[in-house]
A and B are shown apart, each in its own frame.
Chain A
Amino acid sequence: MSLFDKVHNYELSRRLASSGAIAVTGSERSWLRLMLEHPSASSFLGAAALDKLRLLLQEDPPLQLEHLTEKARSRERRLFNPLLPQLAGFICSRSGLKLTYEVKEGGIRHHVSGYPYRLEYAMSTKEWYLLWHRFRGRPLMRTRLSYIHGAEPLELSAGEADRLDARIASLTAKRRTTALLELLPRYNRELSRILYALSCFGQEVQYDSESGMYRIEITYSKDESGYLLQKLRFLGKRVRIIAGAGLQNELRASAMKALARYGIAIEEKAE
């Protein structure tokens, strides 16, 4: 089987899109058939639709993957959350909402008004999060779906969703920051691995062909600095942060504390 099928050709696809015609191949159905075996399928689709789909796809053999092994995969949990379709529906219809949710410090906030703008599944924690703009207090919120007790729609006045989207975009842009990393030349041969590891962030590589030095500029949101630090510790001594004082300090503190675990104290030089 080849993934490059004639029917997916971009020109044909564009023609079909404009006439409203749809064509799905047997291998796409085989993929779906395999996915229907996932324990969360019935929660996503509902038992009746799942039965219907199984019947519709009975002629299509499920995709065979016994020769594929996945390594370093996080254990999966909560791929489905009962609030997911409802919240996705609010976002899709650009509705506001009133949210009741638990907070980290303990306690529950009731009927807090806001505007939901994105649902995000974190591949690292295997949790769903709702990104929403709160109308009072700190505006940009990221709340775990498992902490949400309930949501009700809240009607927004005409043009309000557009205004909020613009405000969210500007707030998000303000939180964006960059760090400049340098790849130690003795690890140039590992460039591909390092770029792969960092490819989940926006990255731009600067290559100086004279010195053969690579510099990598990472663009990330300030809320992601914890995750970026984790990645930098993951890469260890291969990359050095050359611009981004906050990250440099954090990494130095990490190294000092780690050494202390092994009973090694490094004297702080006077600044």
Chain B
Amino acid sequence: MWVFIGVFKIARESFDKEIELLRMLVLTGGSYSRKESADRLGISVHTLDKALRRLKEVAAGSTFITSVELEETDDSAALTGARCSRPALTAGLPQLLQHRRHAGRDPLLLFLFRAKSLKESETIRLAILLEALQHGPITASELLEACSAAMPEEASLPDEKTIRSDLAYLETAGIVARSGQRPFRFRLRNELWSQLEPEELQRLELFVHVMAGTRVPSVQGFLLQDSLRRSLGETECLSARTGFAYHYDCRILDEAYLYPLLSAIEDGIQVTFDYLTPKSDSRYAARGTNPLHARHSPARKVTLLPLKTIYDHQYGRWYVLGFNRALGLATWRMEGISGLERGLPAEPDLVERKQIQLQEKTRTSWLVDLGQPVHVSVRFFRPQGIRYDFVRERVLLQGQWGTVSDEGAQSFRFDIEVNGTREIRPWLRSFGSSCEVLAPEELRREMIEEWKEISEFYEPV
């Protein structure tokens, strides 16, 4: 939405373009040329370069980037791809991401959520206010005084109204609380790190690390962890070399859409967005603000009553499900969404009716398939000559609501009612020869055909 170009700036800052750019960089490792990348994002090469530069600045400014990393990647020529053998996005931000990935710094893309624009004067002022608040509760006029004393000479001094509006923001964000009678004193909500013993704080940091790493949504947890780490000092953090195998780095990107969608569902409000199916070559629908440069957008405009969000652990992807007049109950991938906006409220009766219908339809969806349930029956074979039955263990862990029944020393049965066979098929196939589909007949035939094709791929020449 051209948000970083001052004159075109729109009221609400959007990060759709940055999200899609990061997704593309992480998934394809910068394999497209700049021109190809810009085309896929539906933006000009100039805008692409600007967004890359901006994101690199944000990434480099995030807390846990060391100066070594900056030196290794801080090469203005690299940003333009000038030193690359082909004009691809193989340097600059992609290089920095790769470096961070190798260093095992979790999570890779958290810096996106540090990209909100802030005027320099506001940055300085908020930093001074928050520093002053670290020392104990303080009144607005004392804060004004502290701020006036600490502002750099060249900056204009803030007035009381500005400080009060800053305090109102800090209070709404839950960063400070006001206490006592007028004149109110403002207290930093620092109880998490001021009231716990050092050892308790260490355990809390580890807990937050594990919870953010193993469940969704997690961006809030990672941001909190960053603060806890800062409070402890990096050498005291128990999470220092504790990680997760394996992570889907892109999963946190769509949390940007999750919260607005959750709140629209809660309020029974329709939403509108531009939708690009992930099967399209285009990855982002730029909305030019200058009508002279309007281009044909490949995106489809969707109006939807959102009813549910789903996170799919199999691929690490997010979905919104809802009701649309043309399609009825349907599913959209969050990664295809841009320009998400709240629309009109829906009839409460309709919301309730559709909620119940959708609940019923998703009860037996392996992921998000809303089709008819079928009975799938499978025989799993136990591993031979190994004490530990990892096949059964994996079926018990990943088989969702399916049931397991023993049928002898060699094998066991797995039965499940599931909407269609398309979504469960990859999972069954991943067991290779440890799995034989018994029913439905069609799925059995498809599996045979697919194994035949795969065996033909690798025929010895």
A residues with CB within 8 A of B:
1-17, 19-32, 35, 38, 41, 44-46, 48-49, 52-53, 56, 60, 63-65, 67-77, 79, 84-85, 88-89, 91-92, 104, 106, 117-126, 189-190, 192-193, 195-197, 199-207, 209, 227, 229-231, 233-237, 240-241, 248-249, 251-252, 254-262, 264, 266, 268-269, 271
Contact = CB atoms under 8 A, between A and B. Distances in A.
For chain B, which range describes its interface: under 10, 10 to 19, 20 to 34, or 35 or more residues?
35 or more
A196 B13 contact: no
Q: Would you call the interface of chain B mostly helix, strand, loop, or mixed?
A: helix
A9 B248 CA distance: 24
A88 B460 contact: no
B413 to A, nearest CB: 14
Contacts of B113: 3-4, 8
A190 B196 CA distance: 49
B432 A25 contact: no
B130 A92 contact: no
B126 A6 contact: yes
A85 B227 contact: no
A60 to B, nearest CB: 7
Nearest to A117: B241
12 contacts: A6-B116, A7-B173, A10-B115, A12-B123, A14-B61, A19-B127, A26-B173, A49-B203, A49-B204, A71-B365, A254-B432, A262-B447
Interface in B233-291: 235-250, 255-256, 258-260, 262-263, 265-266, 278-279
Contacts of A67: 262, 265-266, 307-309
B426 A236 contact: yes
Contacts of A26: 173-175, 189
B168 interface: no
B118 A6 contact: yes
Of listed A10, A17, A88, residue having the most chain B CB within 10 A: A10
B210 A63 contact: no
Closest 5 CB pairs of A and B: A26-B174, A200-B246, A257-B433, A10-B61, A31-B220
Interface in B77-127: 101-102, 111, 113-118, 120, 122-124, 126-127
A52 B203 CA distance: 13
A101 B444 CA distance: 43
B173 A91 contact: no
Contact of A68 (B242, B262, B368): B262
Given A12-B123, A249-B458, A85 B203 contact: yes
Interface in B424-461: 426-427, 429-433, 435-436, 444, 447-448, 450-455, 457-460
A200 B247 contact: yes
A75 B313 CA distance: 11
B151 interface: no
Contacts of A22: 134, 190, 193, 227, 230-231
A118 B118 contact: no
Contacts of A16: 127, 130-131, 230
Contact of A53 (B204, B221, B239): B204
